[in-house]
Amino acid sequence: MIAKLTGLIDSIENDGIVIDVNGVGYWIVVSQKVLTQLSESGQKTTLWIEQVTRQEITQLCGFTSKTDRLCFRQLLNVQGVGVRVALAILSVLTPDELLLAISVQDKTMLTRADGVGPKLASRIVLELKDRLSAPNLTIETSTEIKSAPSHDALLGLVNLGYGRSEAHTALQKALADAPATATSSDLLRLALQKLAKF
């Protein structure tokens, strides 16, 4: 079973790439996010591989991190989620954003992905909510943002449609200006003001 491949990009197509590993070309299906990170042929790259066999068809799926691969594995465990849909979800959501969507039961975030309607989004949230303690699938936040008010404000920003990285940066700026007694509403308002200036 193949777990990782390192080689040169031979060619890039709409839904995957060919990696040349010592003269052997491997066809690897990847998300659109991964495609944007792999800019040109001849570039050396390393991908973590998940080998998926369904209906006698074997596919190699590639990811730039173990966390992405872990998310993919968990998504495939959901009834109705195949390789195409799982990769579509990981094309629009980072692992942190996926974890947030599941933890706060935000189905709308999941429906951003092609092929994910409200019913499937509900099933994903329902079936994955008990797997959030999986190793390496945790939200990494700075110490200041682990308090209840700041964490609630972060979730609020994400639910408003801001990317997690963008929301995290704005919230850190808000915390620098906010009094120690600031509530989650205060922090959310300050963070939105910071975002307006970006």
Which residues make beta-bridge pairs with 53? 58
CATH assignment of the domain containing 49 = 2.40.50.140
Q: What is the largest CA-CA distance in the chain?
A: 62
Q: What is the pLDDT of residue 48?
A: 94
Let me know whether 151 and 113 are in one domain: no
Percent of the chain with pLDDT over 70: 90
DSSP-based three-state secondary structure for 92: helix
- Domain span at residue 172 reads 143-197
For the ranges 1-15, 20-34, 75-89, 93-107, the lowest mean pLDDT is seen at 93-107
For the ranges 10-14, 110-114, 144-148, 164-168, the lowest mean pLDDT is seen at 144-148
Q: Are 99 and 137 in contact (CB under 8 A)?
A: yes
160 closest CA partner among 197, 123, 194, 109: 109
Q: What is the pLDDT of residue 145?
A: 57
Domain stop point among 19, 48, 63: 63
Q: What is the pLDDT of residue 198?
A: 58
Kindly state whether residue 138 falls inside one of the protein's structural domains: no
Let me know whether 58 and 75 are in one domain: no
Q: What is the pLDDT of residue 146?
A: 55
The DSSP string of 26-52 is EEEE--HHHHHH--STT-EEEEEEEEE
Domain stop point among 81, 105, 131: 131
Kindly state whether residue 15 falls inside one of the protein's structural domains: yes
Identify the residue whose tokens are 């975030």: 109
Angle between helix 66-76 and helix 118-128 axes, rounded to 10 deg: 110
Give the global pTM.
0.67
CATH assignment of the domain containing 115 = 1.10.150.20
In tens, the pLDDT along 127-158 reads 887 764 343 344 444 445 556 788 888 888 87
Kindly state whether residue 88 falls inside one of the protein's structural domains: yes
Number of domains within the chain: 3
Q: What is the spatial distance between Cα 1 and Cα 26, in angstroms, rounded to a whole number?
A: 13
* Token couple for 120: 């499937």
